[in-house]
Amino acid sequence: MLLPLAGKPLVLHTVDRAREAANVSRVIVATDDQRILDAVSEYGCEAVMTSPDHVSGSDRIAEVAAGLQEGSIIVNVQGDEPLLPTATIEKAVDAMLTGERCDIATTFETIETVQDVFDPNIVKVVMDAGGRALYFSRSPIPFLREAASRHGSLEAALRADKTLIGKFKKHTGLYVYRREFLLGFTKLQPTALEQSEMLEQLRALENGAVIRVVEAAGKSIGVDTQADLDRVREIMEATEGSFFSSVNK
């Protein structure tokens, strides 16, 4: 979070993306690290120290949300996504505020490589005709039975027909909650599917929550490794600052 990126700590780029969202009125960084709190505060932004005992980001966000106004809409942005398009945040918030009522709104990107389809670290999502989440999995879903049968395996089918890859959607880690739902959700016990796949959002589905899933406005990169950081640096240096103006339009 504090690694230098284009002249300032990585997390501050993510803060800037959130502050630029037209339908976000307040940005709070929730952390259990004094160094992050100090960096954000010195930047002139709001930060709150939370318990170090939280097992998930939702739990950490809920601690802060408990002190916010009743009826608030809470946006959970992962702090390690400095390239997150502001328009993606805006689309997710709009999905919560408009159309059919939902408990959670989240986002997806279309998968582009065979490797990503089979990568268990990339979570796949399938939706119904109305854009409501049916299931999230680390396995390739949906399973393209006819194509797999014709080519001998799903992987062979995807390598033979690259157009099939676009049928797989990558779930990205941006969530929008109604405050009261978030507070109730984090009090629920982990469920069987959640523990099997290690995916917190399955707890919501198993308890009957409606999750709307909208397409992200552009690609983002979560910085989890040195390779991720190097890639983000390359993108920012190559575009010389034009990247953000293009993705936010």
pLDDT at residue 244, as a whole number: 47
- The tens digit of pLDDT for each residue in 202-225 reads 999 999 999 999 999 998 988 888
pLDDT at residue 248, as a whole number: 43
Measured CA to CA, the distance from residue 224 to residue 81 in angstroms comes to 9
Q: At the topology level of CATH, where does 4-247 sit? A: Spore Coat Polysaccharide Biosynthesis Protein SpsA; Chain A (3.90.550)
Contact 161, 147 (CB under 8 A): yes
Closest CA to 135 of 190, 199, 59, 58: 199
Alpha helices, DSSP H only, in the chain? 10-19, 34-42, 57-65, 86-97, 114-118, 145-151, 154-160, 179-185, 192-197, 201-206, 226-239, 242-247
247 pLDDT band (50/70/90 cuts)? Answer: very low
Q: What is the amino acid identity at position 24?
A: V
249 pLDDT band (50/70/90 cuts)? Answer: very low
Token pair recorded at residue 64: 């802060």
Q: Which of 26-30, 90-94, 136-140, 229-233 has the lowest mean pLDDT?
A: 229-233
What Å distances lie between residue 201 and 26, 103, 128, 143, CA to CA?
A: 25, 11, 16, 21
pLDDT at residue 240, as a whole number: 57
With pLDDT > 70 as the criterion, what percentage of the chain qualifies? 96
Three-class SS of 186-230: CCCCCCHHHHHHCCCHHHHHHCCCCEEEEECCCCCCCCCCHHHHH
pLDDT mean over 88-107: 94
pLDDT at residue 245, as a whole number: 44
What is the residue-averaged pLDDT of the chain? 93
pLDDT mean over 30-52: 96
Bigger pLDDT: 232 vs 243: 232
Token pair recorded at residue 65: 């949300």
> Taking 90 as the threshold, does the pLDDT of residue 241 lie above it?
no
- The tens digit of pLDDT for each residue in 152-172 reads 999 999 999 999 999 999 999
pLDDT mean over 22-41: 96
